[in-house]
Amino acid sequence: MRSIDVAGLRVSNNSIEILDQQLIPAEERWLTVESPEQMVEYIKALKVRGAPIIALSAAVTLAQYSEHVFNTSATERDKIRRIKEAASLLKNARPTAVNLSHAMDAMMQVPDQKWQNGALWQLAIEICKEDASLCDRIAENGLALLPRSGRCLTICNTGRIATGGLGTALGIFYKAHELGMPVEVFACETRPLLQGGRLTAWELKKFGVPCTLLVDSAAGALMQSGKVDAVFIGADRIARNGDTANKIGSYSLAVLANHHGIPFYVVAPYTTVDPGCIDGSHIEIEQRHVNEVRGVQGSFGSVFWAPEDIAAYNPAFDVTPSSLITGIVLDTGYFDKVAIKAGKHLA
């Protein structure tokens, strides 16, 4: 039986549902996925977001689609072509996050003569199960880095709804909370679509982890006040040299943390590391629609406060150079500046 039941993704036999993250916290609605094209729409609309859960959702969608294709009367050659085209379509839905590319490449490495026998479904389920175990190991590797005060700053959402398990950066906080360790999270609102304010604040509150929300531009003042003792962020792609792409505003936090002498940690699974990417200058940065800056959209509808024809700059991500990163926490271990420079995070 094909079954997955995690915070942001549910699979029961051939039925696939994703939690609509665009509606949180006002509503928890599950959306049915019926095609690769629909999954691409959900990814681009940020209804499903978080590098790991995007990869998992795309993997099961491709597996479902392959089964559908093999039940048609098309020729064998045409069936294989259609599945490969769907994999390419899904792979390109989110250019910055490398987890998606890794998942689609892994699916396409399965010999096509095995596709009809459920091999893609088997691999998709394995990818989902692996992510849960990766999150557990990440949390274990990151616990020792938590400051004694427990006062940490984060950006975006790196929790349960963004992964197949505890989460990445938030997973460390969850594990600490479960063990009775002091932890207090300061969450930046986070553009685009206020993912920290809507998702991280909602998720931490739901699981009882103390959380204070702040606008992104208040992070510097908060650090200056002495209320932040460490910064933990996620990642959508980690380059060979340790440069890291993450949600827009991450680079600013790294600069501020460096100025104030505060440790700055990047937390991710090994699937986020891209050995083929030399450095951050080679990471493609997704540009979002200008209306996300001109106003705001959500479960309440659309509100605009800027002139409708004003130009707007709205990158979804930025790149933090490895020189500003204290260390990288992966499921494979913790890597400080020396280890990163030596390329040990690539192993």
Strands 264-267 and 327-330: parallel
Predicted pLDDT of residue 13: 82
Predicted pLDDT of residue 316: 96
Strands 151-154 and 184-188: parallel
Given pLDDT bands bounded at 50, 70 and 90, which one contains residue 1?
Answer: low
Backbone phi, psi, residue 76, to 5° = -60, -40
Question: What is the C-alpha to C-alpha distance for residues 327 and 113, in angstroms, rounded to an integer?
Answer: 43
Prior bond of 192 cis (ω within 30°)? yes
Question: What is the C-alpha to C-alpha distance for residues 308 and 295, in angstroms, rounded to an integer?
Answer: 9
Q: For residue 225, is pLDDT > 80?
A: yes
Q: For residue 299, is pLDDT > 80?
A: no
Average pLDDT over residues 106-128: 95
Question: What is the C-alpha to C-alpha distance for residues 151 and 49, in angstroms, rounded to an integer?
Answer: 26
> Rounded to two decimals, what is the model's pTM?
0.95
Tell me where in the chain the CATH 1.20.120.420 domain(s) lie: 3-133
Q: For residue 141, is pLDDT > 90?
A: yes
Q: For residue 182, is pLDDT > 80?
A: yes
User: Where are any strands of DSSP class E within 135-241?
Assistant: 151-154, 184-188, 211-214, 230-233, 237-239
Above pLDDT 70, what percent of the chain?
Answer: 99
Q: Which of 7-11, 139-143, 167-171, 298-302 has the lowest mean pLDDT?
A: 298-302
Nearest residue to 337 via CA among 264, 277, 279: 264
Let me know: does 285 contact 251? Beta carbons within 8 Å: no
Let me know: does 228 contact 151? Beta carbons within 8 Å: yes
Let me know: does 156 contact 195? Beta carbons within 8 Å: yes
Average pLDDT over residues 32-43: 98
Nearest residue to 235 via CA among 315, 143, 169: 169
Given pLDDT bands bounded at 50, 70 and 90, which one contains residue 14?
Answer: confident
Of 117-121, 138-142, 287-291, the range with the highest mean pLDDT is 138-142
Q: For residue 301, is pLDDT > 90?
A: no
pLDDT digits (tens, 9 = 90+) for 303-321: 999 998 999 999 999 999 9
Predicted pLDDT of residue 323: 98
Predicted pLDDT of residue 151: 98
Average pLDDT over residues 198-216: 97
Structure tokens at 66: 């392959």
Q: Which CATH architecture has domain 3-133?
A: Up-down Bundle (1.20)
Tell me where in the chain the CATH 3.40.50.10470 domain(s) lie: 137-346
- ∠ Cα 272 273 278 (to 5°): 135
Let me know: does 194 contact 285? Beta carbons within 8 Å: no
Prior bond of 25 cis (ω within 30°)? yes
- DSSP per-residue string spanning 220-289: HHHHHTT---EEEE--SEEETTS-EEEETTHHHHHHHHHHHT--EEEE--GGGEETT--SGGGSPPPBPP
- Mean pLDDT, the chain, rounded, equals 96
The residues annotated as belonging to the active site are 236
Let me know: does 112 contact 304? Beta carbons within 8 Å: no
DSSP summary character for residue 192? T
Average pLDDT over residues 249-255: 98
Q: For residue 52, is pLDDT > 90?
A: yes
pLDDT digits (tens, 9 = 90+) for 90-107: 999 999 999 999 999 999
Predicted pLDDT of residue 296: 82
**Which residue would you say has higher pLDDT here, 14 or 22?**
22
- CATH number among 3.40.109.10, 3.40.50.10470, 3.30.1340.10, 3.40.50.720, domain 137-346: 3.40.50.10470
Nearest residue to 61 via CA among 80, 42, 47: 42
309 burial level (CB within 10 Å; 0-12, 13-18, 19+): exposed
Beta bridge partners of 233: 266
Average pLDDT over residues 153-159: 98
Given pLDDT bands bounded at 50, 70 and 90, which one contains residue 111?
Answer: very high
Above pLDDT 90, what percent of the chain?
Answer: 94
